[in-house]
Amino acid sequence: MPTDDVARFLEALSPAHREEVRHQPREQQEKLAAAWEKELREDTDLDTLSELSPAAAESEAARRVVEGRS
């Protein structure tokens, strides 16, 4: 299990989004990872999903951040 926030974020992404983010500068990757962490903390709908499947909640939050829907 990666401990680096960016690595955890990348792992939560779909393969297509993962490649898209990997091609961005590290600074942008860090901003996206921070937005992902914030989405996980603040979105109450994800809290419910997290109880059922933490990996699904992380993936959904990552998708929202990359697609600009957070």
CB 13 within 8 A of CB 66: yes
Tokens coding 13 = 């992404």
DSSP label at residue 4: S
What is the pLDDT tens value at each position of the chain, 70 positions in all?
456 999 999 999 999 999 999 999 999 999 999 999 999 988 888 877 777 788 888 999 999 999 996 5
- Write down the pLDDT at residue 3: 60
**pTM for the full model?**
0.84
Residue 48 identity (one-letter amino acid): T
Tokens coding 54 = 């933490």
- Write down the pLDDT at residue 31: 96
